[in-house]
Amino acid sequence: MKLNKQFIFSLVLMVLASAIYRVFPNRPMGFAPQMAIALFAGSLFVKNKKLAFLLPLLSMFISDGLYQILYMNGLTEISGFYGGQWKNYLLIIGLTSIGFLVKQEKIASIASASVAAPTIYFILSNGLVWLGGGGWHRPKTFEGLMMTYADGLPFYPNSIYSTIFFSAVFFGAWYLIKRNAAKLNIA
């Protein structure tokens, strides 16, 4: 895939817009575009894995930086940077890998990945919180693990909805761009 200036500008704009959206006040818990960006970037840059991993990580890092600035100025209770945050970045990299398997022309492939990604993220991130003693510091028992998953449930449905929604936006826009470029013999 040839990366022209307009395409690069569009990707930068997507990353910035999604980073800014993530710090919007009163945004529904868990409703953010970063998982969809991971899937889209993985699907789009199968041969350029560095770029595939960079897009969602950059979006997360910028939004975490914005959160930190807001936090330091007393405008939010959410700290942008915290201990163990590297685990979230590692999980996003894993979700990007799922994107490598997405068939861009297959709605079922995009939809399946859009449900699988937040589900895998939910299971692994809450499991890591429990193992690390974070969150509500649940006991290291099976019951404590289940309590940790229950603690994370308010975020889970919105993460599925947002990943489906933003995947539809990203993959749909990409489909239209490719279709129009082919009609105009640009591609």
Q: Where are the domains of the chain?
A: 5-183
Read off the pLDDT band of 43 (50, 70, 90).
very high
Q: Answer yes or no: is pLDDT of 64 > 80.
A: yes
Q: Say how far apart CA 182 and CA 13 lie, in whole Å.
A: 23
Q: Answer yes or no: is pLDDT of 108 > 90.
A: yes
Give the predicted TM-score (pTM) of the model. Answer: 0.91
Task: Give pLDDT tens digits for 22-33.
Answer: 998 889 989 999
Mean pLDDT of 153-168: 97
State the greatest distance between any 2 C-alpha atoms of the chain, in Å, as a whole number. 61
Q: Which residues in the chain belong to E strands, given as ranges? A: none
Task: For residue 92, count other CB atoms closer than 10 A to its CB.
Answer: 22
Task: Give pLDDT tens digits for 75-89.
Answer: 999 899 998 899 999
Read off the pLDDT band of 10 (50, 70, 90).
confident
Mean pLDDT of 102-119: 96
Q: Say how far apart CA 60 and CA 51 lie, in whole Å.
A: 14
Cα angle vertex 132, ends 38, 52, to 5°?
15
pLDDT of residue 2: 58
